[in-house]
Structure 1
Amino acid sequence: MKLPVKKCKQCDSILYTSKYHCTNCYSDELELTEIDGKGKIYSYTKIHAAPKQFADQAPYYVILVHLDQGLKVTGRLNGNDVQIDTPVELDEIKERAYFFKAR
């Protein structure tokens, strides 16, 4: 699945869609685009005591993913087998949250 991002027209940096200026060159010339949602887990935590709206889903994993294009994102893992350097790919975006699955 593709991940929506912004790309700087001046220096080609890849940014989150919430950015209004490039964090590298400070240009405001950004364009919406998509990148491949594949990467590797570089950190994770298991949530046991979840906020009220997610309590019925606990326990679950929140993962930090280093995408192949360089961007680092936070998401949830659809599954229970998690290890550092596990290859993952974007499975869905639900209510502005990224859900990944192992590749």
Structure 2
Amino acid sequence: MELESINSLILSEKLVGLFVEQEEEIEKAVKGNYYSLIFQVFAQKMTIFYNETTTWADYLGTKQKFWNDFMAAGLFYVLGNWVKNGCQDSYDEVVKMVVEFHE
């Protein structure tokens, strides 16, 4: 799928849906102490995504890397905790917040 053709709502739905689909694996990762390894892969994939879809006019070098890391860590932490805590907020509400975070 062309990354540029995905709007923020569809992308957020896919991202939140991925965490919902992986709920059991996230629980296993927490219990097995390899949750941080999953984060490393997630951060790498998010960096690739941002590099392919973001214009970095003001963010070069270290600033770009820090921004990528910050966004990946925030998304992973928030969505991971949402899933680990039983998805108490509705899927639609979480998707809406992810869209807002990226605006």
Flag whether TM exceeds 0.5 (same fold): no
Is the strand fraction higher in 1 or 2?
A: 1
TM-score between the two structures when normalised by the length of structure 1 = 0.23
Of structures 1 and 2, the one with the larger relative CO (CA 8 A, separation 6+) is 2
Q: Max radius of gyration: which structure?
A: 1
Normalised TM-score (structure 2): 0.23
